[in-house]
Amino acid sequence: MNSPAPVATNTTPAAVVTPSAATSSIRAGELQFVIKPSGVGNYSGWQVQILQAGNIWGFKPFTSRKLNASESLSVALYPGSYFVKVLLNGRDEQAYGVLISSGSISTIEVDVGYFSNDITLYNNPADQSHAYKYVIYKQPIDLMFDPVTIVLPGDLIGKYEGPRVGQTPTGEGLFRIFRQTGHKYKGLDLIATIPDAKAEDGHLSGELIFTDGRAVDGKMDANYNLPEGTTARWPDGSVFKGQYLGPEPSNGTLTLADGTVWTGPMQGKAPQGPGTLIRPDGTRIEKAPGGDIARYNGKFPCTDANGTAGSCYFFKGQATDAETYAQKQADEEMRQKAIAEANAAKAEEERKKKEARKNQSANSSSASSGADGCSKVSGTFEADQGLSRLTFESSGKGHLWQHTYGGTTSYTFDIDFRYKGTRNSMRFDYGPGTYKDASGRVVKRVNIAGGGSSCTYNGRSISINGKEYIRR
């Protein structure tokens, strides 16, 4: 076997920085799969499979593309043990238990020969002399593992990408915090990241970097809450101090750059009422619905800049006096009443139109049926207060059912038939008929000869030889 050397190829290789030199703090290891140059033997169709990971949650089994001589692959993996196979044209050639160590490279090298192939695993973290500086293909670590989900307070959820034992984070990794928006995975809003999260007893900590640019002077506790009293500052000059759910403000005081001050519940940076709002002019509004004046509508207790208590009136976000508010509110009630009445009138008009269309359709059908007579009959018809029933199918098949008596014994009679009608007549060809007693037992079978009958049909009723049946 030749000594290891960089893989020669006409394709410009992508440089691989060894994990120990990488800027990411996710201390992964690496498995290289290298097919040495060869012009003889089985120089094509080589694959590596990574099938199992020992106690490493979220691992995704992996089968590489087929590699040829002079081609190579690097797979990033978290530290731990893996079951690995080498395949040639789909056949197992070799299997290994490979221990991936943090910051080290393990190499499987295939030396293709004329009569046989040498497959060698180099798996010593202390000896990296067999590691290749360049490989052609790379499988990044985020394609090899699902992130670990971290339960956070409120509507927040955490995703950790990094080394783990089972589902417990270890070492250092990437920790991202999302706000859930009602959709599973789809619809997560990223609010903060800890690029170099450190795991201690499964708990992650580190410097929070927020997507909205805010900075906080505290660190999350064991329950992933920022401590009460932590101050958050945004680039636009807004400042919050108070209580938190996770890293998000939940209740406290928000001071905006224009001097507006909100004290009360929060969701993110958005005030959620009821709370107290102090406007830049010094007006203090109690039981305010939030920080957006445009949402204010109604009467609120308030105190002016001089300390005089009274009431503040807002109509659809516009400050007004009591008299104007009362007039606008009355006008709005009249407007809403008029809209409701107009909608009700429209609904009634639509109902009448629908009923008229229905009646027109029924009349049209009856007129058509009357004109066609018994040539076009379909549906179910009854006579004798429901004791006789005729069913006509548009395919020309039908059925007669009757409830009858023989002395004090009750029977039912059933018979299928085929029919063909003209405007004023109908011919019947009958199948076998059966009489059944009340238990459903067949007590008699009969055969009835077919023949023609006089017939009239007006769309609502059909008369056969003078006996009238009404559409059910």
Q: Do residues 389 and 432 both lie within one domain?
A: yes
Q: Do residues 221 and 247 both lie within one domain?
A: yes
Task: Let me know if residue 415 belongs to a domain.
Answer: yes
User: Which of the listed residues 204, 233, 257 is the one where a domain comes to its end?
Assistant: 257
pLDDT band at 21 (very low <50, low <70, confident <90, very high): very low
Q: Do residues 130 and 200 both lie within one domain?
A: no
DSSP H helices in 4-141: none
Locate tokens 């300390």: which residue? 307
Highest mean pLDDT among 37-46, 122-131, 358-367, 404-413: 122-131
Q: Do residues 250 and 153 both lie within one domain?
A: yes
Q: Which residue has the higher pLDDT, 35 or 404?
A: 35
* Residue 459 CB burial class (10 angstroms; 0-12, 13-18, ≥19): buried
Measure the CA–CA gap between 352 and 228, rounded to whole angstroms.
Answer: 64
User: Which of the listed residues 143, 172, 192 is the one where a domain comes to its end?
Assistant: 143
Indicate the DSSP class of residue 447.
-
**What pLDDT score does 7 carry?**
32
The string of pLDDT tens digits covering residues 212-251 is 999 999 999 999 999 999 999 999 999 999 999 999 999 9
**What pLDDT score does 42 carry?**
80
The string of pLDDT tens digits covering residues 402-435 is 998 777 788 999 999 999 999 999 999 999 999 9
Checking if the pLDDT of 40 tops 90, the result is no
Q: Do residues 122 and 205 both lie within one domain?
A: no
The string of pLDDT tens digits covering residues 110-145 is 999 888 899 999 999 999 999 999 999 999 999 999
Task: Let me know if residue 63 belongs to a domain.
Answer: yes
Spell out a b/e string for 253-287, using b for 16 or more CB atoms within 10 Å of the CB, else e: bbbbeeebbbbbbbeebebbbebbbbbeeeebbee
Measure the CA–CA gap between 448 and 455, rounded to whole angstroms.
Answer: 19
Task: Let me know if residue 210 belongs to a domain.
Answer: yes
**Tally of domains within the chain:** 3
* Strand 137-139 versus strand 72-77 pairing type: parallel
Q: Do residues 130 and 35 both lie within one domain?
A: yes
Checking if the pLDDT of 15 tops 70, the result is no
Q: How far is CA 417 from CA 314, 433, 437, 441, 447, in A?
A: 78, 10, 22, 22, 11
Write the CATH number for 400: 2.40.128
SS3 289: strand
Checking if the pLDDT of 452 tops 50, the result is yes
Q: Do residues 114 and 152 both lie within one domain?
A: no
**What pLDDT score does 184 carry?**
54
Task: Let me know if residue 346 belongs to a domain.
Answer: no
**What pLDDT score does 8 carry?**
32
Supply the range of the domain harboring residue 406.
Answer: 375-471
Measure the CA–CA gap between 40 and 236, rounded to whole angstroms.
Answer: 68
Task: Let me know if residue 356 belongs to a domain.
Answer: no
Q: Which of 25-34, 250-259, 430-439 has the lowest mean pLDDT?
A: 25-34
Write the CATH number for 77: 2.60.40.1120
* Residue 153 CB burial class (10 angstroms; 0-12, 13-18, ≥19): middle
Checking if the pLDDT of 9 tops 60, the result is no
Q: If we measure between CA atoms, which residue out of 443, 436, 441 comes closest to residue 403?
A: 436
Checking if the pLDDT of 24 tops 80, the result is no
Q: Do residues 35 and 105 both lie within one domain?
A: yes
User: Which of the listed residues 113, 143, 173 is the one where a domain comes to its end?
Assistant: 143
Task: Let me know if residue 296 belongs to a domain.
Answer: no
**Inter-residue contact 111 to 41 (CB < 8 Å):** no
Q: Do residues 164 and 82 both lie within one domain?
A: no
Q: Do residues 102 and 170 both lie within one domain?
A: no
The string of pLDDT tens digits covering residues 162-182 is 999 889 999 899 999 999 876
SS3 218: coil
Measure the CA–CA gap between 116 and 93, rounded to whole angstroms.
Answer: 11
Q: Do residues 110 and 222 both lie within one domain?
A: no
Both tokens assigned to 147: 């992130």
Task: Let me know if residue 128 belongs to a domain.
Answer: yes
* Amino acid identity at 151: V
Q: Do residues 226 and 174 both lie within one domain?
A: yes
Task: Let me know if residue 64 belongs to a domain.
Answer: yes
pTM of the model: 0.61
| Sheet of 230-233, strand order | 215-216, 230-233, 239-245, 248-255, 261-267, 270-278, 284-290, 298-303, 309-315, 318-320
Average pLDDT of the chain to the nearest whole number: 88
